[in-house]
Amino acid sequence: MPGKIIAIGRNYVSHGGDIELPKVPEPFFKTPSSVVGPNDPIVIPREAIEEGVLVEEEAELTLVIGKQCRRATQENALDFVLGVTCGNDVSARNWQRGDLSWWRAKSSDTFSPIGPYIVTGLDPDNLLLTGRINGEVIQQSGTDDLAHNCRRIIEFVSSVLTLEPGDVIMTGTPGEPGEIKRGDVVEVELEGVGVLSNPVIAEE
């Protein structure tokens, strides 16, 4: 279980639309208790169903930190990365827009699927990322479309706080995420890593 999950908002050129992209990375936290693994269900909370909340997938390149890191530079930032994997920053949009913070929109139990493997030796800024719902491609982009690349993200985050081994950074999502509902199967595929697959169920 990671000690910290740091996610980066509005970090793909294709996801920004007409909105001006942030001049620096925009991190937020997700709770470790929201993590699930491959083939574990994404559980839509009972309250989200009762309130008609829109829940969406977000396919993301995810970095896994391998060494303690404080004040990395862009030149040495990747030296602190153990490897890369797939992540899904599941998001409850009505709560994200309506609450003062994103705590339940982004950190409900099961809202952070991660896996299936941590792969070393890949260039994280030159990989193909794909998100699918029931086999249909919803999102697809090269990670070279990141507004702030992985080196810059690590440099910025580690200038504020210490990254520890096992911490993960979800680096942002491209294009337009898709709505997920009970009965769906969501996949995140990252070139060189494999496919993270999770069924979607409703909380009883």
Nearest by Cα to 145 from 43, 59, 75: 59
- Residues 6 or more apart whose CB falls under 8 angstroms from that of 163 comprise 4, 65, 68, 69, 70, 80, 154, 157, 169
- Residues 6 or more apart whose CB falls under 8 angstroms from that of 23 comprise none
46 membership: H or E segment, kind and range? helix 46-50
Mean pLDDT of 130-134: 99
Task: Flag whether the pTM goes above 0.85.
Answer: yes
Q: What is the pLDDT of residues 136-187, one digit of tens each?
A: 999 999 999 999 999 999 999 999 999 999 999 999 999 999 999 999 999 9
Identify the domain containing residue 188 by its residue range: 5-202
38 pLDDT tier (thresholds 50, 70, 90): very high
CATH of the domain at 139: 3.90.850.10
Among residues of the chain, what percentage have pLDDT more than 70?
98
Among residues of the chain, what percentage have pLDDT more than 90?
94
Q: What is the pLDDT of residues 49-90, one digit of tens each?
A: 999 999 999 999 999 999 999 999 999 999 999 999 999 999
Task: Report whether the peptide linkage leading into residue 116 is cis, meaning its omega lies within 30 degrees of zero.
Answer: yes
Q: How many domains does the chain have?
A: 1
At 34 the three-state DSSP class reads helix
